[in-house]
A = this chain, B = another copy of it.
């Protein structure tokens, strides 16, 4: 086994352990935002997509890598923005609701 593979494997196992440890008891309300937050993180595949794009020399490769870059960016940008929108609802609401209610209703 090459030393690189061994060290990649070490990194892989450690990252899995971090992943297991990092999610503790979460209130159910946070499940969807947490899923969405994790979903954004795998947008890191954009880094890999950029590598294959810069190395693409023939048309098939260029097309594949264009789609890969676009997909990955969509994952990253959309993922973080939508997660942030979900999490806005945990902002502390202004506490005096009566006033606004009367104004509206």
- Chain A residues with a Cβ under 8 A of chain B: 3-4, 7, 10-11, 14-15, 17-18, 21-22, 24
A3 to B18, CA, bound (A): 23
Cβ of A10: which chain B residues have Cβ within 8 Å of it?
Answer: 7, 11
- Given the complex, which residues of B lie within 8 Å of A7, measured CB to CB? 7, 10-11
**A15 CA / B17 CA spacing, docked (Å):** 9
A22 to chain B: which residues have CB within 8 Å? 21
Q: In the complex the two chains form, what is the Cα distance from A14 to B14 in whole Å?
A: 6
How far is the CB of A82 from the nearest CB of chain B, in Å?
Answer: 25
Contact (Cβ within 8 A) A14 B24:
no
Nearest residue, chain B, Cβ from A8: B7
